[in-house]
Amino acid sequence: MQIAFSSYDPDMLPGEFRYPAAYVKLSRSGGQLFLGPWWFIDANSKAGALAWSVRNHDGRNLIPFAKVDDGRGDVACFDGNDSSGNPAVLILVLDESGRSYSYSDFSAWLAAASAEVLR
């Protein structure tokens, strides 16, 4: 169960990007959240530095925030080109499978990640 995580410093973020309010609230809460194979990336960790270093792997402007550890190795990222405060969640697929998937926003991703726990 993950207890706390930090988001990337605003000075590192592209342009007018803003994190979704629900994500900010969750990152500041320090509460426990179990999302099965998914875990939130702590920007101040080695994993956070690694995720940041591969964020443009496929040419998109991504802000990583979560990773799945179930063999897929996918990284959930916010669309760094969005300035609405409710960016889409784009999945960075680091293998050569050709898979591609995304979610309309953080709430949709969180619902899907939570549903994975029930499987």
Instruction: State pLDDT tens for residues 35-53.
Output: 888 999 999 999 999 999 9
**Structure-model confidence comparison of residues 94 and 62, the more confident one:** 62
Going by their DSSP bridges, the two strands 62-68 and 38-40 should be labelled as antiparallel
Q: Are the C-beta atoms of residues 54 and 94 closer than 8 Å to each other? A: yes
What is the total residue count of the chain?
A: 119
**Structure-model confidence comparison of residues 74 and 70, the more confident one:** 74
Q: Are the C-beta atoms of residues 41 and 5 closer than 8 Å to each other? A: yes
pLDDT the model gives residue 119: 65
Percent of the chain with pLDDT over 70: 93
* Strand locations in 1-119 (E): 38-40, 62-68, 75-79, 89-92, 102-103
Instruction: State pLDDT tens for residues 77-93.
Output: 999 999 999 999 999 98
Scanning 19-84, the segments in alpha helix (DSSP H) are 21-29, 46-53
Note the pTM of the prediction, 2 decimals. Answer: 0.91
